């Protein structure tokens, strides 16, 4: 297995720059693993493939307006993108600017300061803020769109799921962006249930694998949580013959991380903590029966994950067909249902 086994050609114009309206009007490519059949639908028709008793597991993380700006004592401008909270006022961040060294004090827009506690790898830094960060972000923070989106977002809420509740992500769990309250109500009326997990997404989700052998790639940890209540919902759905359908690769990683903590006879166990689970072809899924996902970057860990679930050749064939039929790709793009 090589990293270039997960490469594919994508014309730049296929990268969606803006979301569709309404959310559920995006296209939906349905991939049937049992028959190899592809079907071309719209997301509002996803219920045609769901059954009463199925459980959709969504990631209800909320994206932080985590891009802020500061100045060095010399007056030089510094861009800060918060990635992960380590303590109450301590964050790991990407910092753009020259000579941002340990011990340096940066001035924020409201006059408060933030200190560089440590230089990590590359442009990562550990920062200590003077006061609560959340309130500052609400006043001054900007939404951190992925690097391949160049069109300004007029409504920041369009980069949040409609069920986003737990602040902490540097990026959206984009498979969930297709759901509207109306669609969710219609699915519930059909007997489809919803359960929530949390995984705070880091920017490494967009990073391509640079090693020739993907097994040498070190995936960064992300914090996730699956509650006892959600674990009970999953067990009840399984016992009643329903399927566990992960909405997004972040939900997949949370479910499978919780499966690693499960005891005999359990699908998952309640879990809270970091996960470094890197799913490659050959992985045996324990908690996920089907998934809803977007179209992922070439050579990415996420394309490797869906290839592990559905087969690399099947996925690359589906991607080639999606390119041919001019589907929209990546965060604001169209969706795929793998059953």
Q: Give the domain CATH number at 78.
A: 2.40.10.240
Q: Say yes or no: 81 and 101 in one domain.
A: yes
pLDDT at 206: 62
Q: What is the CATH number of the domain that holds 22?
A: 3.40.1780.10
Do 175 and 251 belong to one domain? yes
Q: What are the structure tokens assigned to 148, written together?
A: 């391949």
Q: pLDDT digits over 30-87, tens only?
A: 999 999 999 999 999 999 999 999 999 999 999 999 999 999 999 999 999 998 888 8
Domain final residue pick, 140, 172, 201 = 140
Specify if 294 maps to a domain. yes
Q: Are residues 38 and 136 in the same domain?
A: no
pLDDT in tens, 230-240: 999 999 999 99
Range of the domain at 200: 3-63+154-338
Q: Check whether residue 191 and residue 253 sit in a common domain.
A: yes
Residue 205 pLDDT:
66
Q: What pLDDT, on a 0 to 100 scale, did the predictor assign at position 235?
A: 97
Q: For the chain (length 339 residues), average pLDDT per consecutive 10?
A: 95 97 98 97 98 98 94 93 89 90 92 92 91 88 90 93 94 97 98 98 76 88 95 97 98 97 92 94 97 96 97 98 98 98
What's the structural domain count of the chain? Answer: 2
- Residue 221: what pLDDT? 84
Give the CA angle between residues 20, 23, 24 to the nearest 5°.
115
Do the domain assignments include residue 250?
yes
Total-model pTM? 0.92
d(CA 60, CA 165): 6
pLDDT at residue 270, as a whole number: 97
Same domain, 243 and 94: no
Residue 10 CB neighbour total at 10 angstroms:
16
Whether 209 is in a domain gets the answer yes
Nearest-5° angle of CA 123, CA 124, CA 128?
130
The per-residue pLDDT for 12 is 96
Q: What is the pLDDT, as a whole number, of residue 121?
A: 83
Question: Is 222 found in the same domain as 168?
Answer: yes
CB 331, CB 24: distance < 8 Å: no
Residues 264 and 181 in one domain: yes
């Amino acid at each position: 297995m090589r990293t270039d086994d997960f490469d594919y050609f994508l014309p730049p114009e296929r990268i969606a720059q803006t979301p569709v309206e309404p959310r559920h009007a995006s296209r939906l490519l349905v991939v049937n693993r049992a028959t190899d059949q592809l079907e071309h639908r719209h997301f509002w028709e996803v219920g045609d493939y769901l059954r009463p008793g199925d459980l959709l597991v969504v990631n209800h993380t909320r994206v932080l307006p985590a891009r802020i700006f500061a100045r060095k004592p010399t007056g030089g401008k510094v861009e800060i993108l918060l990635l992960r909270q380590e303590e109450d006022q301590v964050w790991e961040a990407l910092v753009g600017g020259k000579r941002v060294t340990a011990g340096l004090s940066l001035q924020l827009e409201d006059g408060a300061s933030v200190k560089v506690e440590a230089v990590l790898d590359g442009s990562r830094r550990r920062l200590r803020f003077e006061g609560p960060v959340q309130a500052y972000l609400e006043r001054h923070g900007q939404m951190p769109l992925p690097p391949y989106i160049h069109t300004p977002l007029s409504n920041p809420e369009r980069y949040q799921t409609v069920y986003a509740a737990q602040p902490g992500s540097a990026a959206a769990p984009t498979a969930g962006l297709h759901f509207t309250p109306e669609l969710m109500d219609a699915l519930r009326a059909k007997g489809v249930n919803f359960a929530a997990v949390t995984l705070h997404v880091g920017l490494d989700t967009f990073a391509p694998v640079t090693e020739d052998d993907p097994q040498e790639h070190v995936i960064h940890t992300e914090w996730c949580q699956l509650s006892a209540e959600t674990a009970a919902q999953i067990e009840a759905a399984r016992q009643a013959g329903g399927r566990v359908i992960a909405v997004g690769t972040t939900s997949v990683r949370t479910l499978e991380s919780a499966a690693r903590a499960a005891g005999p006879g359990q699908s998952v166990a309640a879990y809270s903590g970091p996960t470094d689970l890197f799913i490659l072809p050959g992985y045996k899924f324990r908690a996920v029966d089907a998934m809803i996902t977007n179209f992922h970057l070439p050579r990415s860990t996420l394309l490797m994950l869906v290839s592990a679930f559905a087969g690399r050749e099947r996925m690359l064939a589906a991607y080639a067909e999606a390119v041919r039929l001019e589907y929209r790709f990546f965060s604001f793009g169209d969706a795929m249902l793998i059953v």
